[in-house]
Structure 1
Amino acid sequence: MANSLLTIQMIAREAVRLWKNTNAFMRNLDTQYDDQYAREGAKIGSSLRIRLPVDFTVRTGAAASFQDVSEQFTTLTLATQQGVDMSFPSIDLTLSVDDFAERYIAPAVNNLAGQVAVAVMSGAEGGVCNYIDNEAAGAIITPTINTFLTANAILDTQSAPTLNHRVVTNPFTDARIAGALSGLFNPATEISEQYRSGAMKNALGLDWMKDQTVIQHTSGSFSAGTVSGAGQSGTSIATNAITGTLAKGDIITFAGVNGVNRITKADYGQLRQFVVTGPVASSGTSIGIYPALIPPGAGGAAVQYQTVTASPANSATISLVGPASATYRKNIAFVPEAVTMATADLEIPPDVQAGRDQFDGVSMRMVRQYIVGTDQTGTRLDIVYGYLWVRPEWAVVIADAL
């Protein structure tokens, strides 16, 4: 019986299926597929509008106090096209799908998914505003059980969806804490599985995964700074000339500015952490921050989207959370809804062998064509995507020493 040739559509279908099983972090994101581009194909720059949850304040008593419905939107842009290009002998198309995938598609998808994962994780720089570490003598050391319990508590105070908390760790972080957590896993079959695999599953209210694409962060050399002017709010705070630098992704606090519970607006008794959204040079006089600093109204009345108990006072001290000029692994506890990755169908070019498929929110395209100039048959696997940390407060950085 003659061998049947693999078609490009069959290969594309296998590639997109393998995507979800290749990278632990990518497997746990909120992924969206937009079929509006199914006919004409998406291009870099195409965008999707995402509606954010509405926030309300609660009245006391029978008298109504109507508040405007203030919907907030954000835009996710399909800003990046990435792919893998390869050339393989035509005879290999006689292989089975499984054999072909093992030799060519799985390695290509693994590398492509890894690059996309790094891009999405890097997007946490300047977005994720919650941070926890374990320090000794001013230096970051390996996180403990309490570190992860605190990270989980931070997610709760930010009103992240419950029962869906996850943590992605660098393999070295995973190895360092696996032993400490070994007795916390139930039932006994899971303890046995952890012993055999060396990997954690579920503990401390978190689903655990390890991923080698966890990024590193190097903090700025910041040593001192104060606020310039009272009553400030928003995403940029005027300062007196700071000493040292701030890096995008650094975490800072302002003296006297506590965070509030996102639902009740009650003071949760700790300084509100803000992430620096762009680098600040030494002697800089303005710091971009997230989340927006939104204080209460007159008399301390709760307001929609409130984030803090008060605006910083004039000359309030600015502090860097964590050591200055330190490089650390940026493990992240999060819920999938914190970050969204969207893909769309790329255009199918004319006069080529091409296939396109989508699975579980991810669309990929494969194109194959003979190249006259080099006497080769080239094959390319592409994805066009965008990502956005839609609710970065639903994620917590858990620092670990290198």
Structure 2
Amino acid sequence: MATTNVLTHQMLARESAKMFLEEAPFIANINKGRQEEFGAITQGFKKGDTVRIKIPPVPTVYNGAVFAEGGTPDDFGEREVNLTVDTQKHTGIQFGAAQKKLDLSEFKERYLRPAIQTLSSVVEADLLQRAYAGVPSLVGTPGSVPTQMKTYGQARSKLQHYLAPASDRSVVFSSDANLELVDSSKALFHAKKEIDRGFLRGSIGEAQGADFYEHQSCPIHTNGSKVAGVTVSGASQSGTSLVVGGLTAADTITKGSVFTIAGVYATHPLTGLPYAHLQQFVVTENFTASGTTGTISIYPALKAAMPNKTVSALPANSAALTFVGSASTAYRQNLMFHRDAFTTAMVPLDVLPGCEGYTARLPNGFSVRVMTGGDFTNDKEATRIDVLYGFAVVRGIHASRITE
């Protein structure tokens, strides 16, 4: 046992931050650069700080030499989403003076790694739960674990349709989905490193233009009690609210539920030309009916004109909504996404007066605080490891769910 180097908070904080990202593939592969924008607003980082993220609109292209074809150019504004730092989570380690003199590598494996694994699992589960509920695109068969690479190719097609950049794409998928895919795809991988990843480490590596990561915290979505017989109530509705009928009091439609509307097709983001498939929508707030009609919140917005056109036509009165899956049934959600579909800000926390500690901030924007308070009587130290973060779905159409 090495006893010459006493562990410091700086050492522990830096190791914690690096270890956290090793254990958190979702966080590691989404945008983490937003904490700088908080610094421009306030003199510190406190729960409740909010930054507005602007999403550039799609301009209209006109014909001929005459400006705007003789008319007035579109006055379009940038869409905004809010990112609020509102969540703090921590784990604790209690150890004595003897443990503090352990070699760093030994301390990491015996004390630090179990704590970080637990903390990262909880944070990842929280962020994935928020992420999937803002994604309207969904492929796969509810109730069936995907067994073919084609299903992930369909998810890739969704990202292609909405012009997600080809680089920086990732997939987080469950162990069950990984098992099926590794087995069905084993003949496709011939390079030694891919064979090693598939058979020795349970990962198949890169496919369909994305890096695949096995994950134990893929979220579960449960449909509400009402998924059949729902119709549009009122023609030509637009925006992010939709009045629907066919309800009875106490019917529920849950946040994250996906549906299509008869006759409402998806469109190319730049040209506005319709695709051959119906536009998928996701419910963005939990809904409970109080009568035969009610208003649900949806994404993307219903918009049938350029710029930022999303649908081929606004829905007709009484058009049927078709939900994915059965009523009151739970389905695991795997996720393919581009890096900038989601963003998180993990901002530094100050060490409290009277405590010893250090806040590590990695170059990629990730921060972890390690802080200790002493117990003089029992010769013990209670050390907590904290992260403070916010999360936002920036472009939900640049991701796709793969249901099980």
Work out whether residues 233 and 293 of structure 2, in 8 Å CA contact, stay in contact via their aligned partners in 1.
Answer: no
Change (3 A) 1:260 1:62: same
Partner of 2:161: 157
- 1:88 offset after TM fit, Å? 0.7
Q: List runs of 5+ in structure 1 lacking aligned partners.
A: 297-302
Partner of 1:145: 149
> Match of 2:156, SS?
helix
Kindly indicate whether residue 41 of structure 2 is the aligned counterpart of residue 34 of structure 1: no
Partner of 1:319: 322
> Match of 1:361, SS?
coil
Partner of 1:253: 260
Name which of 165, 175, 179 aligns with 1:171: 175
> Match of 2:200, SS?
helix
> Match of 1:123, SS?
helix
Work out whether residues 143 and 399 of structure 1, in 8 Å CA contact, stay in contact via their aligned partners in 2.
Answer: no
Q: Distance in 2 between matches of 1:71 and 1:193?
A: 43
Change (3 A) 1:234 1:277: same
Kindly indicate whether residue 127 of structure 2 is the aligned counterpart of residue 120 of structure 1: yes
| Structure 1 residue identity aligned to 2:395 | R
Work out whether residues 335 and 399 of structure 2, in 8 Å CA contact, stay in contact via their aligned partners in 1.
Answer: yes
Change (3 A) 1:33 1:18: farther
> Match of 1:379, SS?
strand
Work out whether residues 359 and 367 of structure 2, in 8 Å CA contact, stay in contact via their aligned partners in 1.
Answer: yes
Work out whether residues 132 and 401 of structure 2, in 8 Å CA contact, stay in contact via their aligned partners in 1.
Answer: no
Q: Distance in 2 between matches of 1:107 and 1:177?
A: 29
- 1:268 offset after TM fit, Å? 0.7
Q: Distance in 2 between matches of 1:41 and 1:101?
A: 31
Q: Distance in 2 between matches of 1:28 and 1:250?
A: 25
Partner of 1:195: 199
Kindly indicate whether residue 349 of structure 2 is the aligned counterpart of residue 346 of structure 1: yes
Kindly indicate whether residue 230 of structure 2 is the aligned counterpart of residue 229 of structure 1: no
Kindly indicate whether residue 99 of structure 2 is the aligned counterpart of residue 96 of structure 1: no
- 1:124 offset after TM fit, Å? 2.6
Q: Distance in 2 between matches of 1:107 and 1:33?
A: 29
Q: Distance in 2 between matches of 1:92 and 1:144?
A: 49
Superposed, which structure 2 residues align to 1:169-318 within 5 Å? 169-221=173-225, 222-242=227-247, 244-281=251-288, 283-296=292-305, 303-318=306-321
Work out whether residues 124 and 249 of structure 1, in 8 Å CA contact, stay in contact via their aligned partners in 2.
Answer: no
Change (3 A) 1:152 1:109: same
Q: Distance in 2 between matches of 1:185 and 1:335?
A: 24
**% identity of equivalent residues:** 32
C-alpha deviations, 1:153-178, integer Å up to 9, x for none? 01000111113332110011100121
> Match of 2:131, SS?
coil
Q: Which moved more, 1:192-201 or 1:147-156?
A: 192-201
Q: Distance in 2 between matches of 1:37 and 1:381?
A: 22
Name which of 44, 48, 56 aligns with 2:47: 44
- 1:270 offset after TM fit, Å? 1.0
Partner of 1:300: none
> Match of 2:300, SS?
strand
> Match of 1:88, SS?
strand
> Match of 1:312, SS?
coil
Q: Distance in 1 between matches of 2:39 and 2:11?
A: 21
Q: Which moved more, 1:95-104 or 1:268-277?
A: 95-104
Work out whether residues 3 and 101 of structure 2, in 8 Å CA contact, stay in contact via their aligned partners in 1.
Answer: no
Q: List runs of 5+ in structure 2 lacking aligned partners.
A: none
With structure 1 as the length reference, what TM-score do the two structures score?
A: 0.91
Change (3 A) 1:319 1:258: same
C-alpha deviations, 1:260-316, integer Å up to 9, x for none? 1112211011111000112233545211111111112xxxxxx12211111101111
Partner of 2:9: 8
Kindly indicate whether residue 392 of structure 2 is the aligned counterpart of residue 391 of structure 1: no
Root-mean-square deviation over aligned CA pairs: 2.3
Partner of 1:378: 382
Q: Distance in 2 between matches of 1:70 and 1:124?
A: 25
| Structure 1 residue identity aligned to 2:334 | N
Work out whether residues 126 and 290 of structure 1, in 8 Å CA contact, stay in contact via their aligned partners in 2.
Answer: no
- 1:205 offset after TM fit, Å? 2.6
Q: Distance in 2 between matches of 1:89 and 1:275?
A: 51
Kindly tell me the number of residue pairs found equivalent between the two proteins. Answer: 391
Q: Distance in 2 between matches of 1:245 and 1:369?
A: 47
| Structure 2 residue identity aligned to 1:29 | I
Q: Distance in 1 between matches of 2:35 and 2:201?
A: 37
Q: Which moved more, 1:139-148 or 1:71-80?
A: 139-148
Change (3 A) 1:105 1:188: closer
Q: Distance in 1 between matches of 2:34 and 2:317?
A: 47
- 1:143 offset after TM fit, Å? 4.4
Work out whether residues 3 and 103 of structure 2, in 8 Å CA contact, stay in contact via their aligned partners in 1.
Answer: no
> Match of 1:255, SS?
strand
